A and B are shown apart, each in its own frame.
Chain A
Amino acid sequence: MVSRVVSSWGNVIRAPHVVYGLHSRHDSFPILPNAGTVLPFGNGRSYGDSCLNVGGALLQTRSLDRFIHFDRDTGVLACEAGVLLADILRLAVPEGWFLPVVPGTCYITVGGGIANDVHGKNHHRAGTFGCHVRQFELLRSDGTRLKCSPTENPEWFAATVGGLGLTGVVTWVEVQLRPVSGPRLDVESIRFANLDEFFSRCDELERDFEYTVAWIDCLGRGKRLGRGILQCANHAPQQAASGPAVGRKLSVPFAPPVSLINAVSLRAFNTLHYYRQPRRRRQSCEYFQKFFFPLDRILHWNRLYGPAGFYQYQCVVPASGAREATAELLDTIARSGSGSFLAVLKRFGSVASPGMLSFPREGVTLALDFPNKGAAVERLFQSLDRIVSVAGGALYPAKDGRMPGELFRSGYPRWQEFSHYIDPACSSSFWRRVTEHA
């Protein structure tokens, strides 16, 4: 039992926590003194306070890093919950298997992938991470071990998927991988001039491509509103099987004293990036790391935002009214002059998410980073919150550090049902914040 200062990925919230560790899936839940609470903690890639428990304790799961079995014929893989998606890919890709859903970074734990029911660029085809989890074991603070699957303890399964670690700690997980013939993808980049063009292209591209995502120039206004580049990909067929490319990693060794991402650098970058893509469609064949995890090449890229850190704002607006709501969101952001290189727009499909608190639902999701500039950023967020709320949408807890309680409760109508499954010894800063005045 030691105390350590822990911060989340956004580097905005950092606080001392007592830290416990689990070293094997056979270990018992730690005994907490004085009715304290604990929160399972994976690799800390959540941006806000959903992975923190300020004033309480964290249960580190990174030592739960053993594989249990891998059937190379059927693609069924079981491992402890602290295994990183990167480790799974390193093992599975040379054998012709891939994770069916990967988010924007492969440096998350399998437990974290379940706790946030993460989604990827292929949501319109494959749904969320939780859709491909066959079963897992949930360890509760009273020592009970529950085997959970869509058919065994299904309500515990639905509570824990997307359950932000609050139902207990997941010790091991079994997933179904999907076959691939190698590590490469056939990628097409397509420029589009505005939001209308984005929407008109979506149907066709989602039919032809398994992975689709758009980078958006968040500073574009008027008829340039929502201009950007669509990146679409399919796993390349019939490749000679080979391991993933091991590239040299860059690293940001320390946070610069001010954020390197500001109004000037942003406008310059966005313009360059948009025009780098020629008008015609561009095709290439890429290693999967470059397409799925471009930022992972730069370790600690979050430090580029300086010591004040940054917020990520990711929302989803339902399908009906998505076009208008997205346009309004982008216009509001453009007028503020604030924003980031990483403005991402994606359409979610109709595959149902298995968790009670899952974020993805049919509609459109927009994600941006904002340097933490204090009150000005919060005012922008409040305007964006209003648009999301009116549209009947929601914000993504994995990225959030400040959403108001009512927006959480309206965006996740099953939150009260979920609260019955919370382990009495588990709590998080996020949960306390969004249910405070309920």
Chain B
Amino acid sequence: MLAERGDALYLVARNQARLAAIAADLSVRGSPRVGSEVLDANDFAAHEPMLARAESFLAGYDTVLIAHGTLSDQKACENSVELTLREINTNGLSVIALLTRIANRLAQRRAGTIAVISSVAGDRGRGSNYVYGSAKALVTAFLSGLRQRLGKCGVNVVTIKPGFVDTPMTAAFDKGLLWAQPERIARGIVRALDRQSGTVYLPGFWRPIMLVIRAIPESLFLRLSL
């Protein structure tokens, strides 16, 4: 959608072949300039040079979307401190490392938008996926504070909270009524960027659902297996 509007784009991802395919696709769809670079988000030392290259390619960026993550294997994490910390690193700390730098850059310019894909899983830790959930909760809380700080200098921070989305990350799950297609989430993200929203649940029906989930008293919550 952004390509069709004629936005110049700089893409950063782990997988070289997929990245090249996406860059070519966005170029065909109408983006006048598409740059790309391979990066593992956990390589913190590489963040600064990557941001500098993005800055120079785009002659200054105004919108940043952070969308990387892995779906943690909760059971495996429960038995491994190392795996748990690695997952929290990927889904939580690496995002924060990037945000710290990006926030300062945009704050200097006093303009721009930062959007980060968090998750409904971060709204309340649940027994079935709290390693992933807690990393996302970290991100959500960080963004909330960042929004308050940067709001004073004209920079908007969008927290995107999708529910269940049918993507390669969730390929192994049976899909029911609550599952959404990536295109629908994408439209929601673009709308949120345009409207300069704060926090968005995608699709919208997750907002009332999470309101209820958050409101359930702990004594009752303990008896549910969510």
User: Which chain B positions have C-beta within 8 A of A24?
Assistant: 17-18, 21
Given A2-B173, A2-B175, A3-B174: A69 touches B24 (CB 8 Å cut-off): yes
User: Which chain A positions have C-beta within 8 A of B30?
Assistant: 91
Question: In the assembly, what is the distance between CA of A98 and CA of B67, in Å?
Answer: 35
The chain B residue sitting closest to A83, CB to CB, is: B25
Q: Is the pair B18, A67 in contact by a Cβ cutoff of 8 Å? A: no
Contact with B28, one of A21, A63, A91 (Cβ below 8 angstroms): A91
B215 contacts A by Cβ under 8 Å: no
Contact with B18, one of A4, A26, A79, A91 (Cβ below 8 angstroms): A26
In B168-215, the 8 Å CB interface with A consists of 168, 171-175
A399 contacts B by Cβ under 8 Å: no
Q: Is the pair B171, A21 in contact by a Cβ cutoff of 8 Å? A: yes
Q: Nearest Cβ in chain B — how far from A99, in angstroms?
A: 16
Q: Is the pair B171, A66 in contact by a Cβ cutoff of 8 Å? A: no
In A60-75, the 8 Å CB interface with B consists of 63, 66-70
A402 contacts B by Cβ under 8 Å: no
Q: Is the pair A2, B28 in contact by a Cβ cutoff of 8 Å? A: no
Question: In the assembly, what is the distance between CA of A91 and CA of B30, in Å?
Answer: 9
Give a binary string over B19-39; 1 marks a CB under 8 Å from any A CB, 0 the rest: 001101100111000000000
Q: Is the pair B24, A1 in contact by a Cβ cutoff of 8 Å? A: no
User: Which chain A positions have C-beta within 8 A of B24?
Assistant: 66-69
Question: In the assembly, what is the distance between CA of A3 and CA of B29, in Å?
Answer: 34
User: Which chain A positions have C-beta within 8 A of B18?
Assistant: 24, 26
Q: Is the pair A67, B172 in contact by a Cβ cutoff of 8 Å? A: no
Q: Is the pair B29, A67 in contact by a Cβ cutoff of 8 Å? A: yes
Number of B residues, CB within 8 Å of A: 15
Q: Nearest Cβ in chain A — how far from B20, in angstroms?
A: 9
Question: In the assembly, what is the distance between CA of A67 and CA of B22, in Å?
Answer: 8
Q: Nearest Cβ in chain A — how far from B71, in angstroms?
A: 15
Question: In the assembly, what is the distance between CA of A280 and CA of B218, in Å?
Answer: 77
User: Which chain B positions have C-beta within 8 A of A3?
Assistant: 174
User: Which chain B positions have C-beta within 8 A of A4?
Assistant: 174-175
A25 contacts B by Cβ under 8 Å: yes
Question: In the assembly, what is the distance between CA of A91 and CA of B22, in Å?
Answer: 16
Given A91-B28, A91-B29: A66 touches B21 (CB 8 Å cut-off): yes
The chain B residue sitting closest to A25, CB to CB, is: B21
Contact with A68, one of B17, B25, B175 (Cβ below 8 angstroms): B25
Given A1-B172, A2-B172, A3-B174: A70 touches B17 (CB 8 Å cut-off): no
The chain B residue sitting closest to A91, CB to CB, is: B29
Number of A residues, CB within 8 Å of B: 17
Question: In the assembly, what is the distance between CA of A4 and CA of B25, in Å?
Answer: 30
The chain B residue sitting closest to A90, CB to CB, is: B4
In A63-120, the 8 Å CB interface with B consists of 63, 66-70, 79, 91
A23 contacts B by Cβ under 8 Å: yes
Q: Nearest Cβ in chain A — how far from B164, in angstroms?
A: 13
Question: In the assembly, what is the distance between CA of A21 and CA of B30, in Å?
Answer: 27
Q: Is the pair A67, B28 in contact by a Cβ cutoff of 8 Å? A: yes
User: Which chain A positions have C-beta within 8 A of B28?
Assistant: 67-70, 79, 91
Q: Is the pair A26, B29 in contact by a Cβ cutoff of 8 Å? A: no
Q: Nearest Cβ in chain B — how far from A91, in angstroms?
A: 7
Given A24-B17, A91-B29: A66 touches B22 (CB 8 Å cut-off): yes
Question: In the assembly, what is the distance between CA of A315 and CA of B172, in Å?
Answer: 41
The chain A residue sitting closest to B181, CB to CB, is: A62
User: Which chain A positions have C-beta within 8 A of B168?
Assistant: 21, 23, 63
Question: In the assembly, what is the distance between CA of A63 and CA of B181, in Å?
Answer: 11
Q: Is the pair B173, A26 in contact by a Cβ cutoff of 8 Å? A: no
Question: In the assembly, what is the distance between CA of A26 and CA of B175, in Å?
Answer: 25
Give a binary string over A1-32; 1 marks a CB under 8 Å from any B CB, 0 the rest: 11110000000000000000101111000000
The chain A residue sitting closest to B24, CB to CB, is: A68
Question: In the assembly, what is the distance between CA of A79 and CA of B22, in Å?
Answer: 11
The chain B residue sitting closest to A72, CB to CB, is: B28
User: Which chain A positions have C-beta within 8 A of B175?
Assistant: 2, 4
Q: Is the pair A26, B172 in contact by a Cβ cutoff of 8 Å? A: no
Give a binary string over B147-178; 1 marks a CB under 8 Å from any A CB, 0 the rest: 00000000000000000000010011111000
In B114-134, the 8 Å CB interface with A consists of none
User: Which chain A positions have C-beta within 8 A of B25?
Assistant: 66-68
Question: In the assembly, what is the distance between CA of A110 and CA of B25, in Å?
Answer: 16
User: Which chain B positions have C-beta within 8 A of A66?
Assistant: 21-22, 24-25
Give a binary string over B48-70; 1 marks a CB under 8 Å from any A CB, 0 the rest: 00000000000000000000000
User: Which chain A positions have C-beta within 8 A of B21?
Assistant: 24-26, 66, 68
User: Which chain B positions have C-beta within 8 A of A23?
Assistant: 168, 171
Question: In the assembly, what is the distance between CA of A79 and CA of B24, in Å?
Answer: 10
User: Which chain B positions have C-beta within 8 A of A70?
Assistant: 28
The chain B residue sitting closest to A66, CB to CB, is: B25
Question: In the assembly, what is the distance between CA of A2 and CA of B174, in Å?
Answer: 6
Q: Nearest Cβ in chain B — how far from A233, in angstroms?
A: 28
Question: In the assembly, what is the distance between CA of A23 and CA of B25, in Å?
Answer: 14
Question: In the assembly, what is the distance between CA of A3 and CA of B175, in Å?
Answer: 9
Q: Nearest Cβ in chain B — how far from A92, in angstroms?
A: 10
User: Which chain A positions have C-beta within 8 A of B172?
Assistant: 1-2
Q: What are 13 of the A-B contact pairs (CB < 8 Å)?
A: A2-B173, A4-B174, A4-B175, A23-B168, A63-B168, A66-B22, A66-B24, A67-B24, A67-B28, A67-B29, A68-B25, A69-B24, A69-B28
Beyond contacts A24-B17, A66-B24, A91-B30: 16 other A-B pairs, Cβ-Cβ < 8 A, are A1-B171, A2-B173, A2-B175, A4-B174, A23-B168, A23-B171, A24-B18, A24-B21, A66-B21, A66-B25, A67-B25, A68-B21, A68-B24, A68-B25, A68-B28, A69-B24
On A, residues with C-beta under 8 Å from B are: 1-4, 21, 23-26, 63, 66-70, 79, 91
The 7 closest A-B pairs by CB, nearest first: A67-B28, A66-B25, A23-B168, A67-B25, A70-B28, A26-B17, A2-B174
